[in-house]
Amino acid sequence: MDGAALVIGAGPAGLMAAEELARAGHQVIVAEAMPTPARKLLMAGKSGLNLTRDEPLPLFSRHIALGSTPAGQGYFAGAEGAFGPAQVMDWARGLGIELFTGSTGRVFPVGMKASPLLRAWLARLRGMGVDLRTRWRWQGFRDDALAFDTPEGARLLRPGVTVLALGGASWPRLGSDAAWVPFLAERGVPIAPFRPANMGLRVDWSPAMQRQFGQPVKGVAIHAGDQTSRGEWVISSKGIEGGGVYAVAAAIRDGADATLDLAPDLDHQRLAARFQRPRGKLSLGNWLRRVMGDPVRVALLLEWGGPLPTTPQGWAARCKALPLRHAGPIGLDRAISSAGGIRLDALTEGLELRALPGMFAAGEMLDWEAPTGGYLLTHCLGSGRWAGQAAVRRLASER
C-alpha cells in the first residue's frame, strides 16, 4: 500500500478522516485494533446517541478546553473548528438518519440508537472503497514503516499519509487504552499526561447511605468554582455519577471546592421559614423529610451536613451550601472521556505532527476536552474531518 492513505483507529474521528480521504479519490486503509469499529460510539448510544447540541457555533465552541495550549492557538482557532452543530446534523441526515432536538437543545436520532447511523456510515465508506481491517493493532515504528500485529501475522506499512485516531485513555476495554503514547513519545512528540474527564466522583459513604445506592438526585444544584450544574445524577456504591456531576467534574478535578444547594428554587429566608416547623416527637430524619419532602436530599444532608445545625437559619444555610465531600475523581477506566494527550503545540494548524511530517492526529488523542451533551462527539467528528482534509492537501502537494 505504499503511497496510499492509512487511518489508525475506526472511531468517529478516524472514520471521518477516512471519508475525506476517500472522497478525494485516495485509496484508504483503516486499521482498527478491536474486532468491530466504533465501540465507544455504540456504548455512548445505548442510552440515546447525543450527536450534537443545536446552538450557534461560537457559543458551542466556548465549551472546549484547550489543555496545554493557550486559547486562540492551534486547534479550534480557525477553520478546523468549523464543523459545528449544523454541519453534523446535515451529515447525519445525509446518512438517512432522522433527527430531533430535545428541550435542552441536545440533538438525537429519532431512533435514539447509534447502530443505524454507524451501519449507514460504514456502508457508505465501503461504497467509496475504504478498506476496514479489524484486529489490526499498531505496534509502533520499524525504521520508516508502521508495524502491525494482524490475524495474518506481523505486517509493515509505508503509507503516503497517516491519520492517527486512536482515542484517549478512558474506557480502555472499548479500545482507547493509550498504548500509542510511547510510540509517539520516542519520536519526540510531547504528550500531556492523561486525566479522567466527564467522570464521577468517589465517595466513602457511611453504612447509612447504602439504602440510597442507585437513587437519582433531582432538583439539586452543584456549585464548583464559577460553574453550576442542575442536571440529574445518581448515588452509587462507588460515589456519585451522571450528567449533573460530569458537567462540573473538570472544575472539581482541578481543585475547585464543590457545594450542593439542596433547594435552588428557594431563597435563604423562605427555606428558613420551612425549618421553623415544630419537630415535636418526630425523629430527626422524619422531621427533615417533612420539611424537605425528599428522602434522598435528606440523606445527603445527614451524610455531609455535620455538625448539624440547631436553628432554622442554620439549617437553611447548610442546605444552601452543603459541602460535597468526595475522595477524588473516579479513574480513567470509568470516565466518559479523558483530558491530556498530544500537546497542541506539537501540531500544525492542519493537525500534522511537527515531529513526524505526513502523520496527522485527531479526536481524543489531542490535549483538549469537552463536556458531554454533544460537544465531545461533534469535535471528534470535526477534528477527524480537518485532519483528513489536511492529509488530502499533503498528498496533493507531493504529486
Which CATH fold topology does 5-196+335-397 show? FAD/NAD(P)-binding domain (3.50.50)
Q: What share of the chain is helix, strand, coil (3-state, %, to 5)?
A: 35, 20, 40
pTM above 0.85, yes or no: yes
* pLDDT score, position 71: 42
Summarize pLDDT for 90-129 with one digit per residue, the tens: 999 999 999 999 988 999 999 999 999 999 999 999 999 9
Quote the CA–CA distance of 159 and 351 in Å, as a whole number.
Answer: 17
Summarize pLDDT for 307-360 with one digit per residue, the tens: 989 899 999 999 999 999 999 999 998 898 999 999 988 999 889 999 999 999
pLDDT greater than 80 at residue 73:
no
* Contact by Cβ (8 Å): 213, 235: yes
* pLDDT score, position 164: 98
Summarize pLDDT for 228-281 with one digit per residue, the tens: 999 999 999 999 999 999 989 999 999 999 999 999 999 999 999 999 999 888
Supply the Cα-derived Rg of the chain in whole angstroms. 24
Which spans in 242-398 are helix H? 243-253, 268-274, 284-292, 295-304, 312-320, 375-397
* Contact by Cβ (8 Å): 304, 259: no
* pLDDT score, position 55: 86
* pLDDT score, position 48: 86
Average pLDDT value for the chain? 91
Q: Up-side HSE of residue 361: CA atoms within 13 Å toward CB?
A: 29
Burial of 151-180, coded b for 16+ CB within 10 Å and e otherwise, reads eeeebebebbbbbbbbbbbbbeebbbbbbb
pLDDT greater than 60 at residue 75:
no
pLDDT greater than 70 at residue 77:
no
* pLDDT score, position 78: 54
Burial of 263 (0-12, 13-18, 19+ CB in 10 A): buried
The boundaries of every CATH 3.50.50.60 domain in the chain are 5-196+335-397
